[in-house]
C-alpha cells in the first residue's frame, strides 16, 4: 500500500458549453469550476473528470493554476478509445472505450463534486450514491447540481448514523470544509446490491497523508481561458 497516496476528487458537470463570455450562466459555471480545481490542488488533491470540455476543462485549468500543481494532478477518464479526445489540461489520459459506462469509474472517487450538469451528470451522481461516496453539489450552478443540493437521493440506509445527503455548497472553500468534516464519516465502500439495496462494508483505513506544500510558482498560465 502506498503511504503517500493523495486524495482524488471527481468533478462532474456540463460537458458541452459555449465560450464563457457568450453565455453568462456558463461563465459562472466556468469560474466556479476553475476556482474548485485550483482549491483542490492547493489542498494537495488530484482532480479527476471525464476529460472533455466545459466544466471538466475549467476544473483542470484551475488545477494547473494552483501554486501546488505538479504534473499528474489532472486525470481524464475518457469515454472513447482515443487519447486525443481529452482536453489540453489533462495530464493523465485513460481512454476507456466504455462510453456511458465510464460514468461509474468517474463516480468512484472518494469525493464527487457536481457543478450544474445534465443527464450524464445525473447518472454519475446516482452511481456515486449507490457506491456510498461523499457527494457535494453546487446549489448556485443550475441544472442537476442545484436541484439535488442538500437532498437525500433515496431511502437507502447508506449512513444511518448521521444526516447523509448530497451536500450543498456555493464555492470551493465550502466544498473543502465539507470534505474535511465529512469524509472521515464516509468510511464504507460498495460491496454489492442485494434486492436492489446497496450493501456497504467498512473500507480500509485511508492512507491519505494530506496536502504536500510546494513553494509558490511565479509563472502564470496564459492559456487557461482559451
Residue 199's pLDDT band, with cuts at 50, 70 and 90, is: confident
> In this predicted model, what pLDDT tens digit does every residue of 144-167 receive, in sequence order?
999 999 999 999 889 999 999 999
In angstroms, the CA 129 to CA 112 distance is 10
Mean pLDDT value across residues 75-103: 94
pLDDT at residue 48 is higher than 60: yes
Mean pLDDT value across residues 111-140: 96
pLDDT on residue 203: 67
Does 8-202 carry CATH code 3.40.50.450?
yes
Question: What pTM was computed for the model?
Answer: 0.85
Whole-number mean pLDDT of the chain?
A: 86
pLDDT at residue 168 is higher than 80: yes
Amino acid at each position: 500500500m502506498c503511504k503517500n497516496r493523495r486524495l482524488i476528487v471527481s468533478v462532474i458537470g456540463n460537458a458541452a458549453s459555449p465560450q464563457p463570455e457568450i453565455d453568462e450562466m456558463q461563465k459562472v459555471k466556468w469560474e466556479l469550476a476553475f476556482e474548485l480545481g485550483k482549491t483542490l490542488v492547493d489542498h494537495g488533491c488530484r482532480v479527476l473528470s471525464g476529460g472533455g470540455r466545459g466544466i471538466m476543462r475549467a476544473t483542470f485549468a484551475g488545477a494547473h493554476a494552483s501554486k501546488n500543481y505538479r504534473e499528474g494532478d489532472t486525470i481524464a477518464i475518457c469515454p472513447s478509445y482515443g487519447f486525443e479526445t481529452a482536453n489540453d489540461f489533462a495530464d493523465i489520459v485513460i481512454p476507456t472505450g466504455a462510453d456511458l459506462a465510464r460514468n461509474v469509474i468517474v463516480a468512484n472517487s472518494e469525493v464527487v463534486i457536481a457543478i450544474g450538469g445534465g443527464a450524464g451528470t445525473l447518472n454519475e451522481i446516482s452511481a456515486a450514491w449507490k457506491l456510498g461516496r461523499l457527494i457535494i453539489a453546487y446549489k448556485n450552478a443550475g441544472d442537476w447540481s442545484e436541484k439535488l443540493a442538500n437532498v437525500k437521493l433515496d431511502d437507502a440506509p447508506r449512513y444511518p448514523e448521521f444526516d447523509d445527503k448530497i451536500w450543498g455548497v456555493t464555492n470551493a472553500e465550502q466544498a473543502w470544509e465539507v470534505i474535511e468534516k465529512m469524509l472521515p464519516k464516509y468510511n464504507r465502500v460498495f460491496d454489492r446490491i442485494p434486492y436492489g439495496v446497496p450493501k456497504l462494508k467498512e473500507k480500509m483505513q485511508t492512507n491519505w497523508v494530506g496536502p504536500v506544500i510546494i513553494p509558490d510558482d511565479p509563472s502564470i498560465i496564459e492559456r487557461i481561458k482559451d
